[in-house]
Each structure stands twice: as structure tokens, then as C-alpha cells.
Chains A and B, each alone.
Chain A
Amino acid sequence: DIQMTQSPASLSASLGETVTIQCQASEDIYSGLAWYQQKPGKSPQLLIYGASSLQDGVPSRFSGSGSGTQYSLKISSMQTEDEGVYFCQQGLKYPFTFGSGTKLEIK
């Protein structure tokens, strides 16, 4: 199975701050990566797919980058509504696997 290692596990950021979350795959996933945001008591929501494509309706302050085994999600200006848990997910091979999550809070 492809292991997805996410860092950091938790993060606090001030309003307007730039935030970066990292995700490392155990093998090359050829940009087959998505990022999801999950708020308490809610289902995950797709933010980024194909490593860098923004899902419809997602604010442009979210962006994704990376290739091979290393990927990142950037929030260019932290907002209150961005609090939540963020997961990466590889969609290249069965079983599709997720990172362990990054809990993002407002400082």
C-alpha cells in the first residue's frame, strides 16, 4: 500500500498568515493527489485535485503543488473559516490512502 505521511499534525496560524501543509507519498504518485478539508461534525470537502487543480467553489487562497512523492497545500491568507482538519489522499493505486490529517486552528 502507498503510505501518505502528512506534516505537521497540528498547526495554529494568525489571521492573514500563510499556511503550508506537507504530504509525502511512499512512492511516486504522478500528481494523483487530492486535498480535503473537514470541519467538526461534517464530511470532508474536496479542495484540490490532481495535485494543483482547484475544485469549483473553493477560494483562490487555497493552492496545491508538488510532484513525485512530495506535495503541499498552501493557504495564502488564513481566515477564520479555514479552521478544520486537512487530509491528503492518493488516487493512483488501490487501496486509495489518506494522510493522517493536519489540524489547523486560529492562533
Chain B
Amino acid sequence: EVQLKESGPGLVQPSQTLSLTCTVSGFSLTDYSVHWVRQPPGKGLEWMGVMWSGGSTAYNSALKSRLSISRDTSKSQVFLKMNSLQTEDTAIYYCTRDSYYFDYWGQGVMVTVSS
């Protein structure tokens, strides 16, 4: 069974760095790419970036200067790091599998940026 699960802190202080982990099961990170998508409360979806199955990455240019995505294939984990967080970064953060489209999603992790 394909599963993705996000984990990380629920609260981050302004100007600090967010670190999230997406742990996957039921597929290999070398066969499928994994994307990060976020959703501010009550709002729409924003694509953040992708860890391609081959190991390269791509980022939303709006976030590129602050965002880094990496992986550990042996642990089936994809990592997101984003620095200089502001209140507008408060959102649910999802990881999702790429099968040309986003066919499986994690449950999401709510991240609140607040002092």
C-alpha cells in the first residue's frame, strides 16, 4: 500500500528554519518523484518543489532562495527545509507522489509561524 506521511514541528518562530520529513512506503524514491505542496488555512494550493526520482530537484521560483529539498533513499525519506519563515508561511504542508500527476498525498502537517 502506498503511503506518505509528513512530520515536523507544528510551531516555528518567525525568521527561523522549518524542517519537515516525508516518509514514504509502498514505493521507491528511485522510481517515483515526490513533491511538496502547501495550503494556507482556508486557501488554495501552492506547489513548492520536487525531488525527482533521479535525485535532482526543482523549486518554485517564488520560494527558491529559501527552500531546499533532499532525500535519504535508504530510509525512504524526503526532506524539506525552508528558512526565514514569516507568518504568511503558516500552512498545511503536504508531500505527494508524482505519477505524472499527484496520485497519492500525505495527510499533511500544519505549521504555524508565530512568536
> Using a CB–CB distance below 8 Å, which chain A residues touch chain B?
34, 36, 43-46, 49-50, 55, 87, 89, 91, 94-101
Given that A43-B94, A43-B107 are contacting pairs, would A98 and B102 also be in contact in the complex, using a CB cutoff of 8 Å?
no
Closest chain-A Cβ to B19's Cβ sits at a distance in Å of 21
- Chosen A-B contacts, 12 in total, with CB atoms closer than 8 Å, are A43-B105, A43-B107, A44-B102, A44-B105, A49-B101, A49-B103, A89-B45, A94-B60, A94-B61, A95-B61, A96-B47, A98-B47
Closest chain-A Cβ to B20's Cβ sits at a distance in Å of 15
B106–A44 CB distance below 8 A? no
B11: Cβ under 8 A from any A Cβ: no
Chain A interface mostly:
loop
Closest chain-B Cβ to A20's Cβ sits at a distance in Å of 20
Contacts of B106 in A (CB 8 A): 43
B47–A101 CB distance below 8 A? no
B103–A91 CB distance below 8 A? no
Given that A43-B106, A95-B61 are contacting pairs, would A49 and B100 also be in contact in the complex, using a CB cutoff of 8 Å?
yes
Docked complex Cα distance between A95 and B105 (Å)? 18
Docked complex Cα distance between A100 and B108 (Å)? 19
> Using a CB–CB distance below 8 Å, which chain B residues touch chain A?
35, 44-47, 58, 60-62, 94, 96, 100-103, 105-108
Contacts of B45 in A (CB 8 A): 44, 87, 89, 98
Docked complex Cα distance between A96 and B96 (Å)? 13
Docked complex Cα distance between A98 and B45 (Å)? 6
A55–B103 CB distance below 8 A? yes
Docked complex Cα distance between A60 and B35 (Å)? 28
Contacts of A44 in B (CB 8 A): 45, 94, 102, 105
A91–B101 CB distance below 8 A? yes
Closest chain-B Cβ to A5's Cβ sits at a distance in Å of 12
B44–A46 CB distance below 8 A? no
For B106, the closest partner residue in chain A by CB is: A43
A95–B103 CB distance below 8 A? no
Contacts of A96 in B (CB 8 A): 35, 47
Partner of B58, one of A36, A45, A87, A94: A94
